[in-house]
Amino acid sequence: MKILIVDDSKAMRMIVMRHLRQAGFGNHALEEASNGVEALASVNAGTPDLILCDWNMPEMNGLEFLKALRSKSVKVPFGFVTTESSPEMRQTAVTEGAAFLIAKPFTVETFETTLSPFLK
């Protein structure tokens, strides 16, 4: 299985990858993108099995990326990993088709619990 990690911070992408490994998902192929434009190109080259995406990024933010995917009928499970976690943002994420929102700071246990249904 392939997981696409989208975040404009290289350090945060590395933290997410470390948490994925520690949560027991290290056997999956991990790909990176630094914004929604790069992520969209990555998806067009080969659809991942799961997308973990930041909300605030340059070029194309996470919400715009999610909307672009859904407008192309790409139904890959998509979740936000972001500092944004207000009830309104959580509702927007779900309304636009996100499966979950993990708020930063997060734990290995949060990753394990949230992602297990998607990464069998």
Per run of 10 residues, the mean pLDDT along the chain (length 120 residues) is 96 96 94 96 94 95 96 95 88 94 93 91
In this prediction, residue 86 carries a pLDDT of 87
Domain residue ranges of the chain, discontinuous segments joined by +: 2-115
In this prediction, residue 57 carries a pLDDT of 95
In this prediction, residue 22 carries a pLDDT of 96
In this prediction, residue 26 carries a pLDDT of 87
Report the CATH superfamily, name and number, of domain 2-115: Response regulator (3.40.50.2300)
What phi and psi, each to the nearest 5 degrees, are found at residue 96? Answer: -85, -5
3-state secondary structure 42-59: HHHHCCCCEEEECCCCCC
